[in-house]
Chain A
Amino acid sequence: MSVRTLRIDGRDVASADGATVLEAAGDAGVAIPTLCHLEGLSPVAACRLCLVEIEGSPRLQPACITPVSEGMVVHTATPRLREIRRTVIELLFTEGNHVCAVCVANGHCELQDRAVEVGMDHSRLPYRFPDRPVDLSHQRFGLDHNRCILCSRCVRVCDEVEGAHVWDVAWRGEHCRIIAGLDQPWGAVDACTDCGKCVMVCPTGALFHKGDSEGEKHEDPSRLAALLRARRARQEAP
């Protein structure tokens, strides 16, 4: 395994060739905020919260999909990046209907946590209040499009871990949303195994167990990482 050396926030870091800037930063103890990223799922740079500055590059790069290279100099927390991260969170709050007070994930929500981290005490952008539906056709689970931030964790976990590929991302711009099957009601999709992994990894209250009320949803993305590690260990066992 060849090693690449780089600098992250003034620290010298050695990282495996092929690692991402996010992984290298994590190994060096530098925390970069993320939302769409989840250990065990392929990275997609959907949320843009992990943008970093790389010297010599005019554009900001998402740390989760940018591979390390020899001599790279990375800045993860400049005032410019902090401003952008807060704006990203404000955009996520204003483009949907995130009414924390009546959310199943209130108090257990990664979006809410990131808002605190970036210091968002209000949004400087106007709220859009879009008209979005809720899909309660599944026997056990619900999908509230008002709270979906299109991180696509559900799409990836269903495809890459469960192997059912129930979810996809459809349409563009403000019409962009998660669909089940061929844009069917979730409950009508035979491919769904009712495993609940999508609910487990959803960072907000968009996917939830029916019957959960305000503050009752406890998503636990780390359970997914544990599951994947256990599977890998079993596959590698002689």
Chain B
Amino acid sequence: MSQPAKLRLATVWLAGCSGCHMSFLDLDEWLIELAPRIEMVFSPIASDTKTYPEAVDVALVEGGVGNSDNLALIRQVRQRTRLLVSFGDCAITANVPGLRNPLAGPAAVLDRSYLDLADGSAQWPHAPGLVPELLERVLPVHELVPVDLFLPGCPPPAGRIRAVLEALLQGERPLMEGPEMIRFG
């Protein structure tokens, strides 16, 4: 009997604190059960691949879209992924990175961070092609590319992540209902 094909899984880190990825690691021993059932093809915590690969089955995308690198990556992720999951509140609502949105654009934020509050040698981190430019606003992922599944929480509890992955591994769509599965915050 042939082994079922492994799920090609990616996790992506945009404008977020990596808390959703930490919550993923909170799956603890279940990660050992998960490991043989997936092929981890791209992840900041589980692979050293720098280029997002082709033909990814599922991508968990943490964070809002806050700079030019995030924007380029999320477009690539969408193109090369069958099922894109908005992973956590920042991806779904812009959440904490989005706190800068009501302010007067990226220049005001950079001024405050790198000039007003600098101890010395105050300067903007400006290096074209090296430091990505901030977008005017941090946006939720689904305002830029289509999203297939929303996995809320700040961070989503490990049990919620497991429930989603278990369903996807069975080839099913998880039922996102009730406080266990869809509470923000």
Q: How many residues of B contact A (CB 8 A)?
A: 30
Q: Which of B150-185 contact A (CB under 8 A)?
A: 150, 152, 154, 176-179, 181-185
Task: Specify which chain A residues have a CB less than 8 angstroms from the CB of B102 in the assembled complex.
Answer: 97, 129-132
Given the interface pairs A100-B89, A107-B185, A131-B103, the reply to whether A121 lies near B98 with Cβ below 8 Å is: no
Task: Specify which chain B residues have a CB less than 8 angstroms from the CB of A98 in the assembled complex.
Answer: 93, 184
Task: Specify which chain A residues have a CB less than 8 angstroms from the CB of B143 in the assembled complex.
Answer: 126-127
Interface pick from A31-39, A47-55, A111-119, A162-170: A111-119
Report the Cα distance A115→B103, complex, angstroms: 27
Q: State whether A116 touches B182 (Cβ < 8 A).
A: yes
Task: Specify which chain B residues have a CB less than 8 angstroms from the CB of A121 in the assembled complex.
Answer: 92, 150, 152, 176, 181-182
B147 at the interface (CB under 8 A from A): yes
B66 at the interface (CB under 8 A from A): no
B43 at the interface (CB under 8 A from A): no
Report the Cα distance A101→B63, complex, angstroms: 13
Q: State whether B152 touches A122 (Cβ < 8 A).
A: yes
Task: Specify which chain B residues have a CB less than 8 angstroms from the CB of A103 in the assembled complex.
Answer: 185
B46 at the interface (CB under 8 A from A): no
Given the interface pairs A106-B185, A116-B183, A122-B152, the reply to whether A99 lies near B178 with Cβ below 8 Å is: no
29 of the cross-chain contacts (CB-CB < 8 Å) are A93-B93, A97-B99, A99-B96, A99-B98, A100-B95, A100-B185, A101-B154, A102-B96, A102-B99, A109-B185, A112-B183, A112-B184, A112-B185, A116-B178, A119-B177, A120-B182, A121-B182, A122-B86, A122-B140, A122-B147, A123-B93, A126-B143, A127-B94, A127-B140, A127-B143, A129-B94, A129-B102, A130-B102, A131-B102
